[in-house]
Amino acid sequence: MAANPMTQFEVYRIGPEIKVGAFDISFTNASLFMVISSLAILIIFNLGSKKNSILPSKIQLLAELSYSFVSKMISDTAGSKAKPYFSFIFSLFMFVLFCNMFGMIPYTFTVTSHIIVTFILAAFIFIGVTVVGFIKHGFGYLKLFVPSGVPIVLLPLIVVIEIISYLSRPISLSVRLFANMMAGHTMMKVFGGFVVSLGIVGGWLPLSFSVALTGLEILVAFLQAYVFAILTCIYLNDALNLHH
């Protein structure tokens, strides 16, 4: 086992190298866990929606509770207008949640601990939300940058701040998830290394810490997926219901 806590984030090829033009799209361990997460989601929710009994089975209850959880989250933050985007936000939440959770299993790879993955997701959300905003409100969507009730003197400054904050959304969204996952996994690895190096005498303290961290990381894995989804809802809310 490598002692470097960062080696767990290394991507390596599984199988042959696949090249399309100049691009290398080989199947890697990251791809493997993306496929596993997606398949797990599809299998669980397929089983959960297959039979409809008045008293739901456990897996059906799981699927239906997740459905109503995400549905409530969307309607609470973005209102009823966000209903057409339910499938997307549901898939997003489940994908991030399952990738995070699969990363908690030892010797697995955490897809969401890579900035490129989270950034692509965040950028897609950012572009999508902006497009939706412009389609719904035309150029009136730019009023988002001009809050009402602000003194004229402060307006230029506020508009600049608003634009910067709007443009930094994809970065903050992606870095939040990526940094949380990476930091948690690195910490666990470091404490795991301490257990080995301190041996039978001193290893108990980092071991207990590691156990506690595992619980915390599972919480973080869920929480970050939730935050990712709910921030998407909030951005969508800005685009759908222009409040300013």
Interface with other proteins (CB under 8 A), residue total 63
Told to check if 1 binds other proteins by CB under 8 A, we report no
| Residue 154 CB, nearest approach to other proteins (Å) | 39
Number of Cα atoms under 13 Å in the Cβ half of residue 184: 28
Residue closer to other proteins (CB basis): 194 or 222: 194
| DSSP string for residues in the chain | ----TTGGG---B-SS--EETTEE---BHHHHHHHHHHHHHHHHHHHHHH---SS--HHHHHHHHHHHHHHHHHHHHH-GGGGGGHHHHHHHHHHHHHHHHHHTSTT---GGGSHHHHHHHHHHHHHHHHHHHHHHHGGGGGGGGS-TT--GGGHHHHHHHHHHHHHTHHHHHHHHHHHHHHHHHHHHHHHHHHHHHHHHHHTHHHHHHHHHHHHHHHHHHHHHHHHHHHHHHHHHHHHHS---
Figure out which of the listed residues 15, 57, 105, 120 binds other proteins, where binding follows CB under 8 A: 120
**Which residues in the 97-116 window bind other proteins by CB under 8 A?**
111, 113-116
Distance of CA 1 to the CA centre of its chain: 29
**Window 5-44: residues binding other proteins (CB under 8 A):** 5-7, 9-11, 23-28, 30-31, 34-35, 37-38, 41-42
Residue type for 228, please? Answer: F
Of the pair 16, 149, the CB lying nearest other proteins is at 16
Considering only residues 52 through 91, tell me which ones interact with other proteins, judged by CB under 8 A: 52, 54, 56, 60, 63-64, 67-68, 86-88, 90-91
**Among residue numbers 158 through 197, which ones bind other proteins (CB under 8 A)?**
178, 182, 190, 193-194, 196-197
d(CA 29, CA 42): 20
Which residue in 49, 57, 168, 241 binds other proteins (CB under 8 A)? 49
Minimum CB–partner distance for residue 20 and other proteins (Å): 8
Q: Among residues 74, 78, 94, 233, which is the contact residue for other proteins, using CB under 8 A?
A: 94
Judged by the rule CB under 8 A, the positions of this chain that interact with other proteins are 2-7, 9-11, 23-28, 30-31, 34-35, 37-38, 41-42, 45-46, 48-50, 52, 54, 56, 60, 63-64, 67-68, 86-88, 90-91, 94-95, 111, 113-117, 120-121, 178, 182, 190, 193-194, 196-202
